[in-house]
Amino acid sequence: MTEERIPFSQIIPPRDGISFFAKKGQRFRITDVEGQQVSDLVVFSKDDPTERLSGGNTRKLNNTWLLTTGHRLYSTKCRALLTISADTVGRHDLQSSACSPYDYPIRFGITDHPSCLAILSRVLEPHRVHEYLIPDPFNVFMNTEVGKDGSIEVRPPLSKPGDYIEFEADMDCLVAMTVCPQDQNACNAYRITPLQLTVYGS
């Protein structure tokens, strides 16, 4: 048996991001290098980027907002984009929008703070995916709790160094991810650390 070819593996620095294509059947893995670091992940159909990740459809078709191994991320047309093929953490978020230049002044009273929306806009610009097309993300490793009164509490991630989540593409996709720069609440346990992306051969 030949060893599976690894065509691409890269450490993504804090407050940075990357975009890449994943062919149908191809797998990729996001590894938390130091632990407790969130990534905002968005996905688009390669053939038509207006068909993109839908948090609402993903919650509805999985009948849960707590996604883990075996669950799928669905598009605005209710087609499967990605399947979670492995997950060593089991706690991620499908409730929150990306942190943005628009919400930092309202939530924290600060401006000019790095944000996931700005990072996603930058890494998707070469693909002509503009800000208005960027959907709410699947927040990898983010730990949120919903109270009985409906309130949402952001808690430190449960991911430890070396933990990972792995996806398999259900169609040819354009994928973008961030190393979330949120340091004003417990989202990243108040420190921003790198993530590793590995894209495996199909």
Q: Are 181 and 122 in contact, with CB atoms under 8 Å apart?
A: no
* pLDDT for the residue numbered 201: 83
Per-position DSSP letters for 85-115, written without gaps between them: EEESS---BSSPPPP-TTTHHHHHS--S---
Write out the E strands in 130-184: 138-140, 143-146, 152-155, 164-169, 173-178
Per-residue pLDDT tens over the stretch 130-162: 999 999 999 999 999 999 999 999 999 999 999
Q: For 62, which DSSP code? A: H
Q: Is the dihedral of CA 144, 38, 42, 87 positive or negative?
A: negative
pLDDT of 6: 60
For the residues 90-110, what does the mean pLDDT come to? 97
Q: Decide: 15 and 179 in contact? Cβ < 8 Å.
A: yes
Domain boundaries, the chain: 9-199
Q: How far apart are the first and last CA of the chain?
A: 16
Residues 6+ apart with CB under 8 A from 9: 196, 197, 198, 199
Q: What is the model's pLDDT at position 7?
A: 74
- Rounded to two decimals, the pTM is 0.94
Cα separation, 69 vs 93, whole angstroms: 14
Nearest to 198 by CA among 5, 43, 57: 5
Nearest in space to 128 (alpha carbons), one of 202, 37, 185, 50: 50
> Which residue, 119, 138, 128, 158, is CA-closest to 17?
119
Supply the pLDDT for residue 8.
86
State how far the Cα of 63 lies from the Cα of 66, in Å rounded to an integer. Answer: 9
Question: From CA 111, how far away is CA 100, in angstroms rounded?
Answer: 10
Task: State the pLDDT confidence band at 2, using cuts at 50, 70 and 90.
Answer: very low
Distance of CA 121 to the CA centre of its chain: 14
* Pairing assessment for the beta strands 143-146 and 27-32 based on DSSP bridges: unpaired
Q: What is the pLDDT of residue 190?
A: 97
